[in-house]
Structure 1
Amino acid sequence: MKPLAVLAAAVVAAGLAAACSPAPAEPDRSDAWTTAWSVPMQLPSEGFEPNWATDGFADQTVRQVVRVADGGTQARITLSNLYSRDELRIAGGTIARTVHGAQVQADTTRPLRFDGADSVTVAPGAEVTSDAADLRLAPFESATVTLYLAERTGPATFHAQGYASTYRAAGDHIADREATAFTEATHSWYYLSDLEVSGGPEDPETIVAFGDSITDGFGSDNDGNNRYPDALAERLAADGTPSTVLNAGIGGNMFLSDSKWFGESGLRRFDRDVLSKPGVDTVIVLGGLNDIGFSEVDLPTYKPNPDVSAEQLIAGYRDLIARAHDAGITVVGATLLPMKGAEYYTDTSAAKIRAVNDWIRTSGAYDAVVDFNAVMADPADRERLNAAFDSGDHKHPNAAGYAAMAAAVDQQAL
């Protein structure tokens, strides 16, 4: 929300003329940009299922579909080459409204330009934002971003677990309306980190859901948009308080340790994935389960897996809270979910979860608390995820579970 400034000296100077003036108009949002969709970037890796990140692209068109949480009359995108070793050459791109799958709506395809040019080169470790494109999008509508990568890219900066289909075609197909050429698909996003809109009717609250795979949406339906942040945005809109809810979850992410598989630690990426987003009002913090659980399992993908204590996690939470408060952001702490029956679960991990959750509930360190653990637990065994909400691995919710999590967030806390 924009702060309301009352300048008493100016009112006195204006005198009676000011008193008789008409009420000021609503702020013009035509030039104000809101992040309507974003996703954290990761190192190229094999991920949880086959993807194209390690091989990259050459003479191929990549078509990516994202659902925006806020609407407007203009759109622009940000492309990230953060973790790539090579320059990224975008030979051309378009943005359009989505029909279904890789098909786009007739007469809505707009060229993506960068400082007026049809192509752009992004240096390793850098990012670039496109010019504004005239494209009307409604809240919860899907937009399709299509990029032609003519030259070999090398391994690609990406987000592994998108739970949304990304499509690929041989050659240049950025202007295609139909899906015919797009014969391959994965469930990851490549290079695309943000989509912003301007010209919307309101200046919405912006909430960032920050965490690991439970925030990212493991166990939700591919192309279903039923992760808990999605469900929260829909619930707030239905309640008459529409808000932009951004998903800053990474599957497997840890709070205190970096991983080539699961991204930089939560503490290291917090500034980039939360504090740098424009207009953030609130962050919901849900994380630490992997820090606790990885040390209980001896698998290559779970390394590094140091033995992390509840006290170390709590110190990390305190650091993150302080940084958010310094930025003027409200911080909501979320309790860790039960996971009895999962490969992480031992007497040791269960004790750490209880200690962390007790601190989240009682310390007063957070501005507010959402007790996901209490909502998601089996009434007959509070250490176990309710079977109605279990995706099948005993630690990740299904779509019904994510809806229950969204319903548990106190609107007043936001």
Structure 2
Amino acid sequence: MGPRIRHAGPGRLGPGSTIRTRIALVYGAVFLVLGGVLLAVVNLLSRAGTEDQADSIARQAVVKPHPSSPGAWSVTHGDLTTFRAYQITDNVSDAASEEMLFWSLTALLMTALCAVAVGWWIAGRVLRPVHAMTAKARRLSERTLHERIAASGPDDELKELGDTLDALLARLEKAFDSQRRFIANASHELRTPLATQRTAIQVGLDAELSADDLLATKRVLLDTNRRSERLIEGLLMLARSERGVEEHDDVDLGELTREESVRHDVRADAEYGLVVRGNRLLLAQLVGNLVANAVAYNVPGGTVSVRVAADTAGRGALIVENTGPEMAAEDIPALFEPFRRGEGRDRMGLGAGLGLSIVRSVAEGHGGEVTARPGPGGGGLTVTVSLPVVDVVAR
């Protein structure tokens, strides 16, 4: 059982902290710091200017033109008067600076509070779409994955977030639907051989059953058992391929293809020296499934072609082609889903319908991709597996 996801409140980052509150406080703090720096500079410059003005006023108060000689100057009332004039101007300058500093700080604090309030309001407006997306996401469950956030508004970061969540929901919906279909199909595939076995056993319990009928019943049970084994092996192989590649070896794709093709009496035109880094067992399963499917889902007298060569991108390309029944291009993607079978002489054979699913899973686990298209003339199927090549060794 996985860990529980603990949801915080709307816009909440942690206990006692919301994004809206933090934005408002940061907005106010930044305004307070910048405003404080501005007021400090203004007060320092104002104080320096006030002192210069006070000195000038003091000099004009104690020094006047001499009455008997207009070009001469005299100091009035002596040094005491000069001292008092400068003292008065200094006191006035200090008082003016203190008053200015007091009211500046008061105005700064009041404006900072207003900045916090404005930041709170702006943060609420900005985070409102996030709250709406959060509330809608909480209502979603595996039964309502078809719903979407459907974020509206300008093409900004919030719209991008909503679109990203919608894309994630679409992938989750697809994964859940695929899982449901897989479970339903697997249940059906497993139930069919069990029902067959139960019927055969009931027939075999008949005391009046002849030796030939008993032999036929045993053959039915044996064939059904083999079908169940192949189904279970296919499911295990599919699970192993989807888990990822754990063991890595240098595998010659051409040599491996020739070995697997010989097992199905098919001649392969494969280049040697295209080395793929991966799990040899899984890669052999990939090649074997493709060749086996091409042989099984073919028409009587049809041909199977297997080729390995380097493609234009320098990757190793495995191409398997047969001349089976005609198939529409829009029906091909469904063949890579579990328990999907094509038309052919082995349509109802012992296959579990997992071959191409395993091929796709193994290819993707090795950093490759699988593409398929109708064969030449519209008949059969051409499957191409492209795998990254780590080395090309000439032989």
TM-score strictly above 0.5: no
Greater RCO (Cα-Cα under 8 Å, separation 6 or more) = 1
* Max Rg structure: 2
Greater percentage in helix: 2
Greater percentage in strand: 1
Q: What TM-score, normalized by structure 1, do the two folds share?
A: 0.18
Q: What TM-score, normalized by structure 2, do the two folds share?
A: 0.19
